[in-house]
Amino acid sequence: MAKAKDPRTVAASNGVATDRTYGAVTPPLYLTSTFAFEGFERGRGHEYTRTSNPTRDLLADTLARLEGGAGAVVTSSGMAAVDLVLSLLRPHDLVIAPHDCYGGTYRLLAARRDRGQFDVSFVDQGDQTALTTALRRRPKLILIETPSNPLMRVVDIQAIADHAKDAGAKVAVDNTFLSPALQRPIALGADFVIHSTTKYLNGHSDVVGGAVVAADRTDAEVLSAWANITGTTGAPFDAHLTLRGLRTLFPRVECQQANAMAVAQFLARHPFVAAVHYPGLDSDPGHAIASTQQDGFGAMLSFELKGGIEAVRRFVEAVEVFTLAESLGGVESLVAHPMTMTHAGMEAEARRAAGISDSLVRLSIGLEAEADLIADLERGLAVIGAPSKPKGG
């Protein structure tokens, strides 16, 4: 086998110029639901697209290479990817999940728990005592999200994976916020890496998709079989677009995180900002672990405004470059209010326990000019201090 290529080369060129029919440089999109047999009892390797499709398989192969896994399954969404990993569990198996996980993951775990499909314990994984206590309950699966959404808390994947192995649990890391360009959990001991490819991997806000990469070949085969059974595999067209987006993953993430650092430093100095959550800042509690575990600090950050929810309303209505929308990881900058948007499905109690305040604002930093982003934030923050406009007017 050829020497393993640099991940940048894999992202830019895996599968390029391999078309033997016409020599197409760009891998063709196989937009077909079914494949003709060569003859009776003679299939050609692909039979039906729910089971396998060359375009989707190339995306899976590229993701497996980038994450250093043995195989990958491409799913129809990030939630389908999380659910695929959960399919390994049986009634009474215990999952340890972060208390501040992605809102959709929280909802899925709670819904399946309420149907008796497994047990869940939401734990602050940065709290060593809480984690040790949870591990004594012999969980089957530990779900990790680092940096977490939306507070950008960082946990030590290797340390948790070591403890999990001792307790006999598998470890799955949701790597959506950093992508394999900045963090490779399998090298740190994870068994599974989960992605919402909707975010940085596709990077252009025009596809909803997901993937699970498995460190072990047998695990990859089990997941692949299950995705075929339940029909949660992704569409070929989506795989083609995602692969096209993935070609530029590294340069996008590098530019976006440089912008994010500038934005974080600007916000940290602003008098109307009570706190900034960005592991790239020296003062951030996650800075030390992030510096060793990650190849960069990423382009997501959140901050707390002074002045509560009314200040949030004024801010999001005043910004023009930032679009008020859920999701993240695209080339365009977005602003979201977790309490009323991404985390609205979480009960107020759970939200408070996770530290998500009413005045927390989340930013996904895009590829716009740094000066325009900062000028826009300045515009948004300036109106917070201004007196209220009279109603009606």
Ligand X SMILES: *Cc1c(COP(=O)(O)O)cnc(C)c1O
35 or 278: CB nearest ligand X? 278
CB of 66 to ligand X, least distance (A): 17
Helix (H, G, I), strand (E, B) or coil at 181: coil
Least spacing, CB of residue 87 vs ligand X, in Å: 16
| Tokens coding 123 | 């734990």
The Cβ-side half-sphere exposure at 212, using a 13 Å CA radius, reads: 33
Q: Give the footprint of ligand X on this chain (CB under 6 A).
A: 77-79, 102, 104-105, 145, 149, 174, 176-177, 196, 198-199, 208, 210
Which C-beta is closer to ligand X: that of 240 or that of 314? 240
Cβ closest to ligand X, residue 172 vs residue 214 = 172
> Is 102 among the residues known to form the active site?
yes
Cβ of residue 175: shortest distance to ligand X, in angstroms?
8
Residues 30, 56, 100, 102: which is the catalytic one?
A: 102
Query: Among this protein's residues, is 83 annotated catalytic?
Result: no
CB atoms within 10 A of CB 187: 12
Q: Which helix (H) or strand (E) holds 300?
A: strand 300-305
Q: Which of 167, 152, 103 is nearest to 289 (CA)?
A: 152
**Closer Cβ to ligand X, 196 or 224, answer by number:** 196
Find out whether 203 and 249 touch, Cβ atoms under 8 Å. Answer: yes
3-state DSSP assignment of residue 281: coil
Q: Say whether 174 is catalytic.
A: yes
- Least distance from ligand X to the Cβ atom of residue 145, Å: 6
Q: Fill in the DSSP letter of residue 188.
A: G
362 is catalytic: no
Asked whether 81 and 195 are in contact (CB, 8 A), the reply is yes
Backbone angles phi, psi at 302, to 5 degrees: -140, 160
Q: Which residues pair with 193 in a beta bridge?
A: 173, 213
The closest residue (CB) to ligand X is: 78
Closest approach of ligand X to the CB of residue 209, in Å: 6
Choose between 108 and 381: whose C-beta lies nearer to ligand X: 108
Given 199, 252, 314, 351, the catalytic residue: 199
What positions carry a catalytic annotation?
Answer: 50, 102, 174, 199
